[in-house]
Amino acid sequence: MTDALVIGAGPAGLMAAEALARAGRTVTVAEAMPSPARKFLMAGKSGLNLTKDEPFDSFLAAYADAAPGLRPMLEQFGPTEVQAWARGLGQELFTGSSGRVFPTVMKASPLLRAWLARLGDMDVTLNRRWRWTGWDGTAVTFDTPDGPRTLAPAVTVLACGGASWARLGSDGAWADWTPGTAPFQPANAALSVPWSAHMRPHFGQPLKAVAWRAGNTTSRGEAVISARGIEGGGLYHLTPALRAGATLTLDMVPDIDAETLARRLPKNPRKARLSHWLKNTLRLPAAKSALVFEMTGGAGQLPMARWPEMLKSLAIANTALRPLDEAISTAGGLRFDALDQGLMVKSRPGTFAAGEMLDWEAPTGGYLITACLATGLWAGRHAARFRP
């Protein structure tokens, strides 16, 4: 009988494997892809944001409805512990002005190499191209390069990821045979916008110094106009509200109030031109001005007195979230009510779950990776203590 099995070699799975190995278990990790932690490596291409250095209560609040369930895991392994762990793997870190914490090299690959080397020294076995296909009674089944395989581990930790970026290994197929799974939905997602030809010259241009609003959520982050719509960190925090049907509005000049804008209106309404006011008086970049005209149908019929109101709350119309597979992460997954306090699947004693396959979501900014590491450690430690 296999002693301890971990399915999935992302951050949650590798952390669970390390916890099991430190507890004296003989550990096998099964990874569906040819190499481990592909999504983790992809995150590092734009700078690996490991965690965020902020007061714990503020950090926890980012997980919204999932915060109570995640609290014990994050109290055990939160931002401070993540930083110590990374330094223990030889990575120097720095904290940006926003509190986000990065390796000095910005990449994920040096950290992953050091981690895999440490796991190798702990005799953790990594089986690549082992795709989990479900259960046969109490046994776990796989498709492997050598044909179908069946393992009967004493304990199992599932760390299969969510349902976005299938090409990196997270396709959510496990939901078909895992009870207690809530439907997947996009999280930290970009927007589709059916642009007119008027917007083509502005593809790739950033929207800076703006405030996005949806429902009760406001974000001051940047976004980029793309050929398919709008994407960027400024929008990702708003995904839950947008999924719920909230209207997206944009404050083009969040540091100027409506009264000040009104005082800057042209003195002669008969000669007033919105394009002239935006460019020469407010000095808005061309991309911002173009977006104003795109969303107002040219704004030719809009009375001058309403220009300030329009700039402070420009409705971004005809939008939809980009497809699930393109989202940075997903909501949905294994519900916490299907798990016990140790993250063991109630319907399958000895089987635990961790990481993005759990039903929680968080904005970008280090929250995703931290919670994956924290839940992986928690599940691994509880699995190590499990006895049938």
* pLDDT tens digits in sequence order for the chain, 388 residues long: 679 999 999 999 999 999 999 999 999 999 999 999 999 999 878 889 999 999 999 999 999 999 999 999 999 999 999 999 999 999 999 999 999 999 999 999 999 999 999 999 999 999 999 999 999 999 999 999 999 999 999 999 999 999 999 999 999 999 999 999 999 999 999 999 999 999 999 999 999 999 999 999 999 999 999 999 999 999 999 999 999 999 999 999 999 999 999 999 998 877 778 889 999 999 999 999 999 999 988 655 688 899 999 999 999 988 899 999 999 999 999 999 999 999 999 999 999 999 999 999 999 999 999 999 999 999 999 999 998 8
Read off the tokens for 19.
Answer: 């916890």
Q: Say how far apart CA 209 and CA 226 lie, in whole Å.
A: 18
* Ordered domains of the chain (ranges, CATH): 4-186+328-385 (3.50.50.60), 191-321 (no CATH)
Contact by Cβ (8 Å): 237, 217: yes
**Beta pairing, strands 217-219 & 211-214:** antiparallel
- Residue 140 has φ and ψ, to the nearest 5°, of -110, 130
According to the model, what pLDDT value does residue 348 have? 96
Residues 6+ apart with CB under 8 A from 388: 154, 349, 350
Contact by Cβ (8 Å): 4, 351: no
Helix (H) / strand (E) containing 369 = helix 367-385
Q: Say how far apart CA 189 and CA 223 lie, in whole Å.
A: 12
Spatial CA neighbour of 379 closest among 10, 15, 9, 11:
15
**3-class state of residue 289 by DSSP:** helix
Contact by Cβ (8 Å): 54, 62: no
Q: Say how far apart CA 95 and CA 97 lie, in whole Å.
A: 7
Q: What is the DSSP letter of 277?
A: I
One-letter amino acid of 374: A
Q: What is the DSSP letter of 345?
A: B
Q: What is the largest CA-CA distance in the chain?
A: 85
- Residue 294 has φ and ψ, to the nearest 5°, of -65, -40
Q: What is the DSSP letter of 318?
A: S
